Amino acid sequence: MTNTRAAITGIHAYVPDYVLTNAELEKMVDTNDEWIATRTGIRERRILKGEGLATSYLGEQAVKGLLEKTGTDPEEIGLLICATVTPDMMFPDTANLIAHRTGMKNAFTFDLSAACSGFLFALTTGAKYIESGMYKKVIVVGADKMSSIMDYTDRATCILFGDGGGAVLLEPSTDGNGIMDSILHSDGAGAENLYQRGGGSLRPATHETVDAKEHFAFQNGRPVYKAAVAGMSGVVKEMMQKHSLTAENVAWVVPHQANLRIIESVASMADFPMEKVMVNIHKYGNTTAATLPLCLWEWENQLKKGDNLILTAFGGGYTWGAIWVKWAY
């Protein structure tokens, strides 16, 4: 029997045109470019503006580009998963809307919510459907309109996040390339440090919840920072040790783009050189479920068939993990 793996056979991403710079944020909250850049590494982020434009639009643009780029008939797609924490609505699923607008008449679709680890969790899930033989073509989307849940009077959070979307096509591979392994974790003890309190069944929307700004994202920075560094560095080291991977035979580490200091700490603790770590946080900020596909999209022309990549992320919940990918093209 052949060992079928799920291989990434295409990648595309989309970011909105509007650029929110640190200089512009200086006019909105008590902050400045030097303070933001020194503490986070972020210089600018993209914001989706326009009536009726939501997370599904970000995902739709990424998927349309992916289908065109790979020459894929949308009716051949069996499954579309959308990782997001900013769905257009509570229901229907944002994945359902993306599939409808991109002509995927035969696709089974669902959303997956794991905050900034969403793309990792969705990629692993999509890969299992390929490995099982249930589907031959699966699309995994990571998309978030984080500006929709930002309090632009709170300088602790609004400086960090931006909007964007990315999508990958998964297909069966028997040549030894593809998604090799994943290590994923969750710990609800972290819920008190990173959450959006309002809008769910616990705190449905009322005048009280709106006035209390409970529909915006909240982050308790220090414990989240420590947990992110420990979680991502630990799981990267575990993956490398498990499969005898080293800084020499891993082409790239692809980390969640939350904070440049976190990325640098993770690289240091995993004994991995920064020149082999993908970093684009300075341009896009933290786009939550979109950060990993945005990196792969930007580095695509530097990736070679057989390259070892380690993707890692950490998000609210807490959620965290790593995936080892052998690039397939």
pLDDT digits (tens, 9 = 90+) for 312-324: 999 998 999 999 9
Helix, strand counts (H, E) of the chain: 10, 13
**Comparing C-alpha atoms, which of 122, 114, 112 is closest to residue 323?**
122
Task: Return d(Cα 207, Cα 50) in angstroms, integer.
Answer: 26
**Comparing C-alpha atoms, which of 82, 83, 40, 47 is closest to residue 228?**
40
Average pLDDT of 89-102? 98
Q: How many CB atoms lie within 10 A of CB 164?
A: 32
Query: Do residues 180 and 8 lie in contact, with contact meaning Cβ atoms separated by under 8 Å?
Result: no
Task: Return d(Cα 29, Cα 21) in angstroms, integer.
Answer: 13
Average pLDDT of 137-141? 99
pLDDT digits (tens, 9 = 90+) for 26-44: 999 989 999 999 999 999 9
**Comparing C-alpha atoms, which of 116, 183, 173 is closest to residue 326?**
173
Task: Return d(Cα 38, Cα 264) in angstroms, integer.
Answer: 13
Q: How many CB atoms lie within 10 A of CB 17?
A: 9
pLDDT digits (tens, 9 = 90+) for 263-319: 999 999 999 999 999 999 999 999 999 999 999 999 999 999 999 999 999 999 899
Give pLDDT, residue 314.
Answer: 98
pLDDT digits (tens, 9 = 90+) for 231-254: 999 999 999 999 999 999 999 999
Query: 248: part of which helix (H) or strand (E)?
Result: none
Query: Do residues 21 and 11 lie in contact, with contact meaning Cβ atoms separated by under 8 Å?
Result: no
Question: Where are the chain's structural domains?
Answer: 5-175, 180-326
Query: Do residues 114 and 314 lie in contact, with contact meaning Cβ atoms separated by under 8 Å?
Result: no
CATH architecture, domain 180-326: 3-Layer(aba) Sandwich (3.40)
pLDDT digits (tens, 9 = 90+) for 66-95: 999 999 999 999 999 999 999 999 999 999
Identical fold between 5-175 and 180-326: yes
Q: What positions carry a catalytic annotation?
A: 116, 256, 286
For 5-175, give the CATH class.
alpha beta
Task: Return d(Cα 254, Cα 239) in angstroms, integer.
Answer: 13
Structural tokens at position 31: 């902050």
Give pLDDT, residue 2.
Answer: 57
Residue with tokens 């920072």: 225
Is residue 1 predicted with pLDDT exceeding 60? no
Give pLDDT, residue 317.
Answer: 85
pLDDT digits (tens, 9 = 90+) for 172-230: 999 999 999 999 999 999 999 999 999 999 999 999 999 999 999 999 889 999 999 99
Torsional class of 317: left (φ above 0), alpha (ψ -120 to 50), beta (otherwise):
left
C-alpha dihedral (248, 251, 255, 261), degrees to nearest 10: 50
pLDDT digits (tens, 9 = 90+) for 181-192: 999 999 999 999
What does pLDDT average to over the chain?
A: 96
| AA identity, residue 142 | G
